[in-house]
Structure 1
């Protein structure tokens, strides 16, 4: 399976991609998503970026940003700190 696939209006990202970025076992990722400890945002490109999507995942003060095309091919990826942005369940 590809790392990112188109799923209707959104995308499905392999658990291994998120696990590698956040230092997690991929088997943990689905439970962390359900618990709200990994959250995400999907943004459609406009104008010059039409046909591109920005998928951003947040976990434990870090973010993974993937820029993908309509078919889900990863065009770029970045990992960065997000100080002060921890999921509510990260602090419990």
Structure 2
């Protein structure tokens, strides 16, 4: 299982996002519960209908996954500011 869409929301395998955020997979759930890793889901419209952009934020890093409705990753991107906190604009939808 990598990414599943269901009635209870989106479930993502920690092993998929952990290396992109430079953390251990076992640490992802705790960091999310603590609010250290945050996330944002955007639903595609128009030509992106049926696709989603999932963004994850941790320290100075933003990871984005563009996925289709079956959970296949179509594109990924990483922005890493190193020790500098991400600018607020990087946390906004479409930012």
Separation (CA, whole Å) in 2 of partners of 1:9 and 1:48: 26
Matches for 1:5-16 after TM superposition, within 5 Å? 5-8=4-7, 10-16=9-15
Matches for 1:1-92 after TM superposition, within 5 Å? 1=1, 3-8=2-7, 10-81=9-80, 83-85=86-88
Q: Which runs of 5+ in 2 are unaligned?
A: 89-95
Q: Which runs of 5+ in 1 are unaligned?
A: 86-92
Task: Compare relative contact order (CA 8 Å, sep 6+) and give the higher one, 1 or 2.
Answer: 1
Quote how far apart the aligned CAs of 1:44 are: 0.4
Quote how far apart the aligned CAs of 1:19 are: 1.1
| Alpha-carbon displacement from aligned partner over 1:16-75 (angstroms, at most 9, x marks no partner) | 112111111110000000000000000000011100100000001111100011111111
What's the TM-score once normalised by structure 1's chain length? 0.83
Aligned counterpart, 2:93: none
Give the count of matched residue pairs.
84
- Please tell me whether the aligned partners of residues 10 and 42 of structure 1 are also in contact (alpha carbons under 8 angstroms): no
What's the TM-score once normalised by structure 2's chain length? 0.80
